[in-house]
Structure 1
Amino acid sequence: MIYSIFKKIALCVTAGALLLTGCGKKAEEAAAVTIPDAPDAAIQTVITEFTKGNGAILWQAMPASYQSDVNTLAQLAGSKIDPEVYDNSFATIARLAEIVEQQQAFILNSSFMEDRSAEEMAELEAALPLIVDLVEIITSSELASTNGLLNFNGQDFFNTTVSKFVQYAETLGQLTGDESLLSDYMDAVVSVVEADNLQATLLTTVPGQEPTEQVFTKVEQRWVPSEMARNWSAKIAEVKAEFDATSIEDIAAQKPQIMGALAMIDGVLAQIAAAENQEQFDQSLQGAMIPLMGLVMLSQGMGGGVDPIAPMPEAPIVAPSSIPAIQ
């Protein structure tokens, strides 16, 4: 259930966003950016700002009604979840990240890793700090608490959380072996193939890559992908209907089991954190297997195994094509 609700929230607040990389920008700097009226200049500005690490430009590039929809859905989500269950779930995730950082040496030398190749272990060692940082960004964001959702402001979220994410995407792309990275887009050029007052076909040319053509539609003085413009209202209505259908009574009925599972996981994490040598760590990790399997089975019975909702429309092509839009 928690997974299902969080995924809906994440889909809402990241619609139109690709979380890539660059150098962070302060909110006051992001607010000063002017998006031009011309379609090619508008998308060029989004690309340029994003490659500089300005995650807030994605929010600024949304039509005002889209921004309102995102804020409304995030706040609606906050009214449909149990504060104790939701907040404690994220506290547990944050604790897990702390332990991964604290016990990284034991993790890498664990007997559970014996079957991994030297190359795989090197990749894991490089990835663990990045994973910890990304989890910490999420667990300290507005998405990690009921109060944060109830008071959600997309401008603030993109100014801070999204811009923080952007700082890590270049490294993430390198670790995953992506053929194109955000830095490749520093020299991207956007040009007009054909355009009128309401629609434009744009060509994005990135050095070393095949040019990409995409159709944009003007919505409330903002140029957005035509597919997004066609599907936005229906997708927002679909997500809102799912939130409206959420039963407070069902959540209350499941709460004792969820809180019991979280308490069990907290106990397991405490044992892992307390390990002072490799033997103690491996023993505590082995002892965690049964409780963790039980939690997985419990989550599947509470909605964790349900099919995900339909994906939000894809984002504008302002990033490496090998990295998909948030689905």
Structure 2
Amino acid sequence: MIFGESHGPAIGVVLEGVPAGLALDLEQVQKQLARRAGGKSALSTARKEADRVEVLSGLFEGKTTGAPLAMVIANADQHSSDYEAIRYTPRPGHGDYAGFVASKGCLDYRGGGHFSGRLTAPLVAAGAVAKQILAGRGIWAGAHISSIYGITDAALEDVEALRPVAEKEFPVLDDGRGAAMKAAILEARQAQDSVGGAIECAVVGLPAGLGAPDFGCNVEGIFAQHLFAVPAVKGVEFGAGSAFSLMRGSEANDPFAVRDGRVVTRTNCSGGVNGGITNGMPVLFEVIMRPTPSIALPQESVDLRTGEEVEIEIKGRHDPCIVHRAVPVIEAAAALAACEVLGI
């Protein structure tokens, strides 16, 4: 359970079901949070937060106790006054209006409140714990930016190529294409606009036979539930995804083979899942991320007090693109989903 608001005193997460006896490496948690952090360049928001994790419960003498693990992250760099002008004029593309209605007008509107991308920080912290649990079973998750504004990264031919990507400030396979993506982001920023993109992620090491075709047990459904909880994710595709519509069955089917005494498939168009069950290949998927809704250009809205149509201009510090910062977030959501699939 993730809690808190963008401009509240703190944000955090409570994880239930964490196995007892895990020697939790908090520095690894901090490393994952550092990958997500903004304030590093013109490619992201100017908001700077230390994002130091404090563990409130579930950890004793460096090991998890099996009790709920509660972690909090303080908020310090808020400019709440930037949002007063849009308290009753919802920003297009944001959760402002839907949240206003759902909360009966009691929404914390500052910085997007609970709908803010700021809430991905505790998600990353939770995912960092999940990654350490998975590592003990030989399972890992890695991702890269697959595209930004139509500029595509190199094709992922070997999931092992994702390991070094995690050490890059701009997580792409091909740095040359990454430079072109950066230029597109800066161009959008100069135009007071934003751009979207996509992230490709693989979970490697999940054994065959997990999941079921049924509702609530389907592996793709479990992953999708976690991934759609990430702000800005508007689509999820497994394996070949939408490219299946361009294929024949002879192209889409993954031929079986035996390698080192293990049944594998020569291709992975199905993304490691058949019939809602893992087949032992990497669970491979791509998420589509919308452009950041907060842009400086004038936009049309409605004054919720008067019902009049109005024009708004959004102030504050916002990302011209959130895709590069979202890579560790998607990995975190994938790690949490993998734990659920494993029954942890």
TM-score normalised per structure 2: 0.30
Quick check: which one's helix share is greater? 1
Higher relative contact order at CA 8 Å, sep ≥6: structure 1 or structure 2?
A: 1
Quick check: which one's strand share is greater? 2
Select the structure of larger CA radius of gyration. 1
